Chains A and B, each alone.
Chain A
Amino acid sequence: VRVRVDLDTCQGHGRCYDLAPDVFGADDEGYAQLLVTGDVPAELEQQARAAEANCPERAIVLD
């Protein structure tokens, strides 16, 4: 599975890097930064799904 974050939609709620700290980080302003490139490793898939399911802006897309 691949993960994307739409930075125009992200408002810095910070749910993703809280719930999926190995998939997302925060920039200095608290907005999301993707830490993985390409496919999400299988062991991190659950984290990525949690981030997607808890983003209030729906800025995270898995496909």
Chain B
Amino acid sequence: MSTTETDGGGSYGGSPFEQMDPETARHPQPSYKLMRDLMPVTRMDGIGVLLARRAEVDEAFRQPELFSSAMDAVALQNVRPLIPLQIDPPEHKKFRKILDPLFAPKQVKPLEEPVAALVNELIDGFGDATEVDFSKQFSTPFPSQVFLTLLGLPLDDLPVFLAMKDGIIRPDHVVGKPRDDKETVAYQRGIAQSIYDYFDRVLDEREVERRDDLLSRFLDTEVEGERLTRHDILDICFLFLIAGLDTVSASLDCFFGYLAEHPEQRRQLVEDPSIIPAVVEELLRWETPVIGVARVATADTELAGCPIHKGDHVMAILGSANTDEAEFDDADVVRFDREANRHLAFGGGVHRCLGSHLARLELRVALREWHARIPDYRIQPGAELDYTPGIRSLDTFPMVLGVSQ
């Protein structure tokens, strides 16, 4: 899960990133630098105001009332605001009070063993193959399986889940037409309804019989003496689906893409797995799998002298903030021994990614278990990785195992 609660924020529903060429999507850092140097706060027609520097991103995150995360910031065909991402303070606090404890480190820690088992089962599934598709066989199924486990849903539902996730996040890939095409929008709308219907059915079952899972817990949670309504729970589940799956897949794609191409740095973590938490933080910073998150201005204001009008969309470019030389020493160098790393890969301010502790656990365990068994791998010679702009995930990642570069 990511950047701000979804970590998805606005990168999903149509964004400047869709126009990125494949090379920029692969290595966006030089483009970020150009933006910071030439147009740190800039208005782009039809998109809104882009924030490329850490300073202005911080300013926006610290004023959630002025830079709202409410519904018009993203368009995913959801019929009500996603909870808690699209709820502004003060109401937002109420939902975080319920959800934060469920995703606190204390709660996610016991998942370490089952998560490690899932990683190992996926690797077992490679059999004797020396060539695999990392995306299709590992990074895509892994977070979805963790999610199904967490919600108490049958693992057999994986294909249903993946279809809902892809249909809502990248309907254009599924339909094969542009994002704003009538057919694409109609398809995405249908998928959105199927997500509500799916969780509505499961919640009916849990109403009858509680289990030891998150959905059952939602049914019994009270805040200020009030239960969550069925709509509330559906709006939370909808967000989980789009926030909790793709973002971890994207992080794994970015991390393994980087490590495949940097065998010396990969060797460092193979030889000393104790550095893995630092590797995760540095690659979150450098790769920033969720490029940006969207906000909407609720009043006229300005940032770094650039006028912002009420209703303007404002896009915080997290990837650029995370490579800003004003914040980081050696900002353009990937260093696993970095002492100060205040990256914003999970967003910042009140909408900090709710699932960040779970995401960190998944990423650390995946790196640890994978490299203990498969220390050497590379991108299949001749293959180019094509990252989806926005959330930097891969539809396909042909990988050769057991061969060093």
Q: How far is the CA of A30 from the CA of B354 in the complex (A)?
A: 10
Q: Are B101 and A28 in contact (CB under 8 A)?
A: yes
Q: Are A55 and B342 in contact (CB under 8 A)?
A: yes
Q: Are B106 and A26 in contact (CB under 8 A)?
A: yes
Q: How far is the CA of A50 from the CA of B278 in the complex (A)?
A: 12
Q: A13-B356, A14-B357 are known contacts. Are A56 and B104 too (CB-CB below 8 A)?
A: no
Q: How far is the CA of A56 from the CA of B281 in the complex (A)?
A: 12
Q: How far is the CA of A5 from the CA of B54 in the complex (A)?
A: 21
Q: Nearest residue in A to B99 (C-beta to C-beta)?
A: A29
B350 to nearest A CB, angstroms?
7
Question: Would you give 6 A-B contacts (Cβ < 8 Å), ordered by A?
Answer: A14-B105, A18-B105, A26-B105, A29-B97, A29-B101, A54-B341
Q: Are A53 and B348 in contact (CB under 8 A)?
A: no
A52 to nearest B CB, angstroms?
9
A48 to nearest B CB, angstroms?
13
B349 to nearest A CB, angstroms?
6
Q: Are B342 and A30 in contact (CB under 8 A)?
A: no
Q: Which A residues are in CB contact (< 8 Å) with B344?
A: 56
Q: Which A residues are in CB contact (< 8 Å) with B352?
A: 11-13, 56
Q: A13-B352, A18-B277, A57-B348 are known contacts. Are A30 and B104 too (CB-CB below 8 A)?
A: yes
Q: Which B residues are in CB contact (< 8 Å) with A50?
A: 339
Whether A58 is near chain B, meaning CB under 8 Å from some CB there, is: yes
Whether B100 is near chain A, meaning CB under 8 Å from some CB there, is: yes
Please report A residues at the B interface, Cβ cutoff 8 Å.
11-14, 17-18, 26, 28-31, 50, 53-58
Q: Are A56 and B342 in contact (CB under 8 A)?
A: yes
Q: Which A residues are in CB contact (< 8 Å) with B281?
A: 54
Q: How far is the CA of A29 from the CA of B343 in the complex (A)?
A: 21
Residue from B97, B340, B342, B356 with most neighbouring chain A CB atoms (10 Å): B342
Interface residue ranges of B343-378 to A (CB < 8 Å): 343-344, 346, 348-350, 352, 356-357
* A-B CB proximity, top 5 nearest: A30-B104, A53-B340, A29-B100, A11-B352, A56-B342
Q: How far is the CA of A11 from the CA of B277 in the complex (A)?
A: 20
Q: How far is the CA of A52 from the CA of B346 in the complex (A)?
A: 18
Q: Are B340 and A54 in contact (CB under 8 A)?
A: yes
Q: A11-B352, A14-B356, A56-B348 are known contacts. Are A26 and B343 too (CB-CB below 8 A)?
A: no
Q: Are B350 and A11 in contact (CB under 8 A)?
A: yes
Q: Which B residues are in CB contact (< 8 Å) with A28?
A: 101, 104, 106
Q: How far is the CA of A26 from the CA of B281 in the complex (A)?
A: 19
Q: Nearest residue in B to A18 (C-beta to C-beta)?
A: B277
A32 to nearest B CB, angstroms?
11
Q: Which A residues are in CB contact (< 8 Å) with B342?
A: 53-56, 58
Q: How far is the CA of A50 from the CA of B344 in the complex (A)?
A: 17
Q: A53-B342, A54-B341, A58-B342 are known contacts. Are A30 and B348 too (CB-CB below 8 A)?
A: no
